[in-house]
Amino acid sequence: MQTVLSLNNVSKSYGSIQALKNVSFEVPEGAVFGLLGPNGSGKTTMLSIILDILKADIGSFEWFNQPGSPATRKKIGSLLETPNFYHYLSAVDNLKITQAINGRGNNESIDQALGQVKLLERKKSKFSSFSLGMKQRLAIGAALLGNPDVLLFDEPTNGLDPVGIAEIRELIKELSQQGKTIIMASHLLDEVEKVCTHVAIMKRGVLITAGPVEEVLAQEDIIEVAAQDLTALQLALKDFPGISSIKHNEHSVSVFFPAGAAQPEAINQYCFNHGVVINQLIPRKKSLETKFFELTND
Ligand code: ATP
């Protein structure tokens, strides 16, 4: 698969604050790539660098394996801040202004973009009559002018209610199905887990991990086990072969194994042989949220 973007040892400081430290990763074509990190971890700085808004101190990046080629810029649509749409103008008139400013696409592409964000039927409605979700969809529509192959979004669901968030999630999935590569910075781990194929986790300017979501999450197997007497259960499981760690929860015990090593049947048999009858045994996937807090907590 082709690489759409590669970063090589990118660093950036603002005076004494080092916002990015030797960051390298690759974004494959067709990925929905989530950039995750606590506030101030460098996500916006990174998006600004790859969009040529800021210059890296050292390091380099390449779009489509072509260093610094202006022709490739037309293939990239972005939404870093909500555009200043005119409240008293319609959706279509607002996009005409955006198009005149950024020179992407034509009238046909405005209708195409409005169709992609499901606002074609409301194209003549005033911006002021739109819900927050619709306003954000129009902003994404502006990024879609000229039908770019790659889309960059900074916190695309910021400030939206759950319905608006779900709308944007569906839209991102649809754009991905149309073959677009999407790079998005987000705080919403649950959202990232629902839509992203790949993820990079940042902390204070350092890239902690990057790769396909399932690889980032699948470094261990977790089996949640419960029995009448949790203390006896934990004691029995303590010496179970191959276990990497064990955690006592309120109503169960979580047993951790290296990826691919957990055998629920063997656990059941082992506990029974040690006088503990299991009343619940559930293989669990680690959530991105758990992984994120593990990686970014001090
Ligand atoms: P958030 O999620 O809060 O938007 P972020 O992950 O996008 O954060 P950045 O905005 O890239 O992080 O900021 C990274 C670091 O650089 C922070 O410590 C921030 O205070 C600092 N920083 C960002 N922009 C500037 C600037 N123009 N001048 C000085 N420091 C800055």
How confident is the model over 78-122, as pLDDT tens digits?
A: 988 777 899 999 999 999 999 998 888 888 899 999 999 999 999
State residue 181's pLDDT score.
96
Atom 3 of ligand 1: nearest residue by CA position: 39
Position in ligand 1 atom list of the atom nearest CA 46: 11
Cα of 224 from ligand 1 centre, angstroms: 39
State residue 71's pLDDT score.
59
Question: How many Å apart are CA 111 and CA 95, to the nearest integer?
Answer: 9
pLDDT along the chain (298 residues), means of 10: 92 95 95 91 93 93 78 80 88 94 85 92 95 91 93 88 87 93 86 88 90 76 90 90 84 84 89 93 75 70
Residue 53 CB coordination number (10 Å): 12
Any ligand 1 atom below 6 A from CB of 43:
yes
What is the pTM (predicted TM-score) of this model? 0.79
Distances (CA, A) of 5 to 8, 143, 183, 242: 10, 18, 10, 40
Question: What's the token pair of residue 238?
Answer: 């303590």
Any ligand 1 atom below 6 A from CB of 110:
no
Cα of 15 from ligand 1 centre, angstroms: 12
Any ligand 1 atom below 6 A from CB of 48:
no
Note whether 169 and 6 are within 8 A (CB).
no
- Phi, psi angles (nearest 5°) of residue 137: -65, -40
Question: How many Å apart are CA 252 and CA 78, to the nearest integer?
Answer: 46
Any ligand 1 atom below 6 A from CB of 203:
no
State residue 124's pLDDT score.
95
Domains of the chain: residue spans and CATH: 3-212 (3.40.50.300), 218-296 (3.30.70.980)
State residue 69's pLDDT score.
59
Note whether 124 and 156 are within 8 A (CB).
no
Question: How many Å apart are CA 43 and CA 188, to the nearest integer?
Answer: 14
State residue 44's pLDDT score.
92
How confident is the model over 119-139, as pLDDT tens digits?
A: 999 999 999 999 988 999 999
Position in ligand 1 atom list of the atom nearest CA 202: 6
